[in-house]
Structure 1
Amino acid sequence: MGERMTGTRWISRACVAIALAASLALAGCVGGSPPSAYTRTGSQRPVTHVVVAGETVYHIANEYGVSVGRLMVVNGLSDPRELRVGQVLTIPGAYRAASIGTASSGVHPYTGERAARQFQWPVSKGVVSSGFGIRNGAMHDGVDIAAPAGTPVYAADGGVVIFSGTLHGYGNTVIIRHDDDYATVYGHNERNLVSEGNRVARGQEIGEIGRSGRTTGANLHFEVRRDNVAKDPLAYLPEPTSAGPISFAAAGGS
């Protein structure tokens, strides 16, 4: 994060909530340069958005996690009412690889080197519907695991609950601090079953999957962080078996 939730995204309000509730030093939450994931190189192009009927400057800014003022300045808008259907807006600070196309859509099993530290899956059954990385022009700091509302959410490892409450975009959220400066985040819960300060065991039920916060359906937004830096959770989870209870969606996006 710096801490930021996208797709769930960390924004200044969320940073304050976590800093107060968890006493974490969250560098880079407010101001500063765009995160390195958005740094432009010769092989990348700006993310654009085509305005459709019913959209407003405020809606589009919220969709991409940028300020209304910055969106207007970059696109030469002096009045939010100037927006028109079919207008192409440049999303400030966001870039995507020029080669990205429909062939790269979908969620795939992790193929890189697995981390030495391994957690357990936070659900016993579900579909990984959205992966770690750039999504809709912004960084998605975790994975989304779709499952029916009410499905139990389990602690990926033992630790101490440092936040249990509501965060903008994330809805009902639990954050657990583990040893070796690791933390795991569980968002979009229907309800949280633990409180701040509780010590939890690996595999203990801590919540239920829901639709709280900003999401298109019932799913768990799960993050693994070390020293407040988001890591690809799939590198820290056991590889699912081909016929097992965890699968991967053909196209992501919850």
Structure 2
Amino acid sequence: MDEILRTPQKDSRLHGPRKDHAPADGWAKRIERLKDRWSERLEGAGALKGDLALQSARVYHRMHSAVAGKPKMAPLPFLALAAVIGVAGVVGTLYSPAYVLTVDGVDVGVVQSKSVCQEIEARVESRASQILGYDYTIDHEVTYELALTKREDLTPTADVENYLFDQIGAITKAYTLRVDGQLVGMAQDRAALDALLDELAAPYVNENTIAVDYTKTVHITQEYVPSDSEQDTAAMMAALTANTNGQTTYEVQAGDTFMALAFDNDMTMAEMEALNPDIDINKLYIGQILNIKEEIPYLGVQTVDSLTYTEAIECPVREVEDDSMYQGDSKVLDEGIPGEALVTADVTYLNGVEKDREVTSSTTVREATERVIAVGTKERPTWYPTGNYVWPVYGTITSRFGYRYIFGSTSYHSGLDIAVPYGTSIRASDGGTVSFAGYKGSYGYLVIIDHGNGEQTYYGHNSQLLVSAGDKVYQGQTIAKAGSTGRSTGSHCHFEIRINGTSVNPTAYLN
């Protein structure tokens, strides 16, 4: 059948001429011309979409009309015409026109039409442009040749597209590692990328680890990517572990200062203030939450460990009244013995730092005994310490706690200098007993109040003292008048808080 389709058959057994008919070779030529005309129609877009048997029938009727009223056709021309009609019927039923697509001289496949080929090329160029990031045009030699084929033998367009993609040197098919959709790198072997992620997580995985995840969406897929994409796993690891700026929170502890926290976390004061716009940097207090800059890796590792451990059970507390103690005071009569529990918990870590702990079970091993505390009921005197400190005066802070440059040299400043007009009232920061009131070197006129539990407050450079040693003073009571005595450059109050003889930053304690 292929020979019939591709090469017209010629019959060399021709009849001689007859008086009442056209010469036999004339009929053969007419038939050849008709078959050539049929082939030309075959090359057209719609020739074979019609009924080829009908086309052949029309050829026969046209020939029959041409010899109407004449004797019957000679056997040889008749057989030739019948062959054409038979071939046309078979072709029209089993075959359809198509094009053999050739790329750089290599047959790629058979497609239905040139327009299908052009659509495939357009899709390949569009996809390649998206992958490469610039307009790409196929630079291979693409040709089409008309042919006949069975409909079921047409090449799937996806196969043709994939072949064309494989010919693009700037694009390769590989396994890619993407983080939040961003391409990190590629490898021909998926195992190399899996090993890279295992290496990233390895420092945080131990025998108790039950789950490993990442802080961003990670995908390994096989796809077409630019051939110059990163393939060095060491470079990919460097990209995954590169630090970026984030932030975390910090709870203010006793003795903390805003400046010290900034420096300890490798931040400038401006950066620290930008993260904490609503914070008064001069009035930090214990337990206050601050935002701190934190360096975090581009891809963090989150793990969950299942841990089993013992945990102390706090003693239940029972209070008993004691009228020999002031209200607010207490004394432990029996410490009690803490209990013990066997706990199982799922602990979540981010880059090795615990972020969450969920207790899944807890079994009491030993019950806790009672803790007994005596609480005072006697009326508290006004001078008795509250345990909280208020500002002794309000004004402009001209010198903070810590090292400073003054009088031509650097020195350690043990408190706060608060500038106020001469004669401004200085108040006791908390209740207590005056342990010193007088002139004391560079402090000038100084008042020291003992608040118990090893805590003292200092008030220096006063112009006038209003209390004496041994006096009981209450919180907020006026104890002196502001001045500039001692080593001073202007009217102000020098204020200190000392705990067990050591100066601490007053701003961490003042309310």
TM-score normalised by L of structure 1: 0.49
The structure whose residues are more often strand, as a share, is: 2
Larger Rg: 2
The structure whose residues are more often helix, as a share, is: 2
TM-score normalised by L of structure 2: 0.25
